[in-house]
Amino acid sequence: MTPDVEPGFQTFVEPAPPELEEVRAALAERAGGRLREWARREPIALAEAVAALDDAEQVAVADLLGDELTAEVVSELDPGAAADVLEHLMPADAADVLEEMSPDDAADVVAELEAAEAETVLGEMEAEERGELRELLAFPEDSAGGLMTPDFVSVRPTMTIEEAVAEIRRVADEAETVHYVYVVDAGDHLLGVLSLRDLVLARSRQPVTDVMVPDIIRVPATADQEEVARVFRERRFLALPVVDGSNRMLGIITTDDVADVLEEEATEDIERLGGSQPLDDPYLRTSVFTLFSKRVVWLLVLFVGAGYTGTVMSYFQDEIQTIAGLALFVPLLIGTGGNAASQVVTTLIRALGVGDVELSDVTRVLWKELRTGVLIAVTLAGAALARAQLLGVGIDIAAVVAISAGIIVIWAGAVAAMIPFALRRLGVDPAVVSAPLITTLVDGTGLFIYFELARYLLHLR
């Protein structure tokens, strides 16, 4: 039965993205038209396929696509993978592709090239484009200057709205975005901003200074990328101007640049929380030795830290021998404390990272976590009591286990709540307090609480 289709409308079926073997088949047939169609329609899928091709095939794809479409395709790759593709081209061809890319993307790719090769490619570029890239490369890649693009639309304060619209039309194809138009003087000092809405609603003979917003949010080129991301989150801007120390406008940062920053920062925090140093390259492009070096340091730290758990067990070995049932609950209690601490530290690190919590909130956070910990402690103490009775131990040991579980949970929550604030106060990224490190810390102290409580309640002294 044929489905009903409203008159005047046609059913649309999205074309399937190109697979690796299809790309190879198109290469074998020298089907440049098919590759160019994919580049316009499915640049991300084609980029992924191109990254998997061998050196000669990548050169052939670039030859068939041409400079402009090759630039669109490699722009969809991470800078390291894009650099790998350009390394296989002749320096002059690589330079042509970079000139077609947006300056901020091109600078990221050049930064991934070997120094000598980067200089060779830059030497093949036009003087203006080469100068732009050198200026961008002078900034740290994790700063506002490293994220910005110099391709923005600006007008002079002496212009009328009609003249400003004409200027926008003249440079629109080269600009990163035309959502905002910046008003700068002859020395490029930032005076204000116009939105497209302002321009559409204003009278054609009206001076732009009558319509512009002079009190504009801007960031210095030296600002950290996390600060830039915070401004975008709070203000919901589409673009943000970047200025130097003299308020001269250098470029803009757009939302797509910030999306990459947020993904990068989130990835780094997740890797740190797992007890590993963040990777500089995508996982599949990272060597085994690099993975080893990123992980082994933390594992050694945790290994040494975990040693004091054994020291605590050794210190209380007489109590364990006297009442063997105490040892049955060691894994349960240290696991409970570690899990509780991990939950708190993960939540707070994220809250600190996105600005939901500030250093001044430390007292409120501690009070909130203590109250939450008491509720969890009562619940888990009841569960621990039931578990102890199921194992058939005496009511005295069951009481020790239940009370210890409650105290350990409250203690773990308090420790996990305070350490991220302490590290932030010291200027250290709280994400380095990984869940495994917090777990290791709480394990030993939790055992000490358990056995000291057993000594007191069971009269083992």
DSSP of 118-176: HHHHHHTS-HHHHHHHHHHHTS-TTBHHHH-BS---EE-TT-BHHHHHHHHHHHGGGSS
Would you call 78 helix, strand, or coil by DSSP?
Answer: coil
pLDDT of the residue at 388? 78
Residue 437, pLDDT > 60, answer yes
SS3 257: helix
Note whether residue 108 is domain-resident: yes
**Do both 289 and 399 map to the same domain?**
yes
CA distances from 69 to 34, 73, 80, 149, 229 (A): 12, 6, 19, 20, 30
Residues 158 and 120 grouped into a single domain:
no
d(CA 434, CA 302): 10
Whether residues 127 and 162 share a domain: the answer is no
Domain count within the chain: 3
- Gap between the Cα atoms of 39 and 32, Å rounded: 10
Q: Residue 428 domain-assigned? A: yes
Q: Give 423's pLDDT tier (boundaries 50, 70, 90).
A: confident
Tell whether 451 and 309 lie within a shared domain.
yes
pLDDT at 168 over 80: yes
* Mean pLDDT of the residues in the chain: 82
Query: Where is the domain boundary, 105, 138, 171?
Result: 138
Per-residue pLDDT at 436 exceeds 90: no
pLDDT band at 284 (very low <50, low <70, confident <90, very high): low
Token pair recorded at residue 3: 């489905």
What are residue 262's DSSP bridge partners?
none
CA–CA distance, 108 with 121 (Å, rounded to integer) = 14
Segment 289-336, tens digit of pLDDT: 776 776 666 656 656 655 555 555 555 565 555 555 677 777 778 778
177 and 290 assigned to the same domain: no
Residues 452/453/459/461 CA torsion (nearest 10 deg): 10
Q: Are strands 154-155 and 180-184 parallel, antiparallel or unpaired?
A: parallel
Please state the φ and ψ torsions of residue 339, each to the nearest 5 degrees.
-65, -40
SS3 of 183, please?
strand
- Same domain? For 126 and 213 the reply is no
Mean pLDDT of all residues in 447-459? 81
Question: Do residues 132 and 212 share a domain?
Answer: no
pLDDT tier, 222 (very low <50, low <70, confident <90, very high otherwise): very high
Q: Are residues 351 and 247 in the same domain?
A: no
Considering only residues 116 and 261, tell me which one the structure prediction assigns the higher pLDDT: 116
Angle at 323 between CA 319 and CA 325, to 5 degrees: 120
Q: Which residue has the tokens 């130097």?
A: 244
Q: What CATH number should be reported for the domain holding residue 113?
A: 1.25.60.10
Strand order in the sheet with 154-155: 154-155, 180-184, 190-195
Residue 215 maps to a domain: yes
| 403-412 mean pLDDT | 89
- The distance from CA 318 to its chain's CA centroid, rounded to whole angstroms, is 50
Q: What is the pLDDT of residue 299?
A: 59
Calpha distance 76→47 (Å, rounded): 6
Which pLDDT score, from 0 to 100, does residue 382 have? 87
For residue 193, the surrounding DSSP H or E stretch is strand 190-195
CB atoms within 10 A of CB 453: 17
pLDDT for res 1 = 42
369/221 same-domain check: no
Separation between Cα atoms, residue 43 and residue 116, nearest integer Å: 30
Claim to verify: residue 197 and residue 297 sit in the same structural domain? no
Q: Is residue 120 part of a domain?
A: yes
Domain interval for residue 188: 154-254
Minimal CA–CA distance to 430: which of 373, 365, 368, 375?
Answer: 365
**Residues 355-393: tens digit of each pLDDT:** 778 888 889 999 998 999 899 888 988 888 888 778 777
Residues 414 and 346 in one domain: yes
> How does residue 13 score in pLDDT terms, banded at 50, 70 and 90?
very low
The whole-angstrom separation of Cα 246 and Cα 249 is 9
Question: Is pLDDT above 50 for 239?
Answer: yes
Q: What is the structure's pLDDT at 223?
A: 92
Residue 269 domain-assigned? Answer: no
Do 72 and 46 contact (CB within 8 A), yes or no? no
Q: Which of 138, 162, 179 lies at the terminal end of a domain, its last residue?
A: 138
Could you tell me if residue 295 is inside a domain? yes
Does 192 have pLDDT greater than 80?
yes
Examine the domain organization and report whether 213 and 185 are in the same domain.
yes
Report the distance separating Cα 277 and Cα 287, nearest Å: 14
Asked which of 72, 106, 138 is the last residue of a domain, the reply is 138
pLDDT tens, residue by residue, 170-191: 887 777 778 899 999 999 999 9
Residue 417 has pLDDT above 70, yes or no: yes
Output the domain CATH number for residue 386.
1.10.357.20
CB contact set of 90 (below 8 Å; sequence gap of 6+): none
Show the beta-strand stretches assigned E in 234-293. Answer: 239-243, 249-254
228 inside domain = yes
What is the mean predicted confidence (pLDDT) over 333-349? 82
pLDDT in tens, 88-108: 899 999 999 999 998 888 998
3-state helix, strand, coil in the chain (%, to 5): 65, 5, 25
CA distances from 306 to 46, 292, 302, 320 (A): 48, 20, 6, 20
Residue closest to 383 by CA, chosen among 367, 404, 364, 366: 404
DSSP bridge pairs for 207? 160
Rounded CA gap, 67 and 59, in Å? 12
The CATH code of the domain that includes 242 is 3.10.580.10
Q: Say which residue the tokens 């990221």 belong to.
A: 108
- Cβ of 325: how many Cβ atoms within 10 Å? 18
Q: Band of the pLDDT at 161, cuts 50, 70, 90?
A: very high
- Let me know if residue 26 belongs to a domain: yes
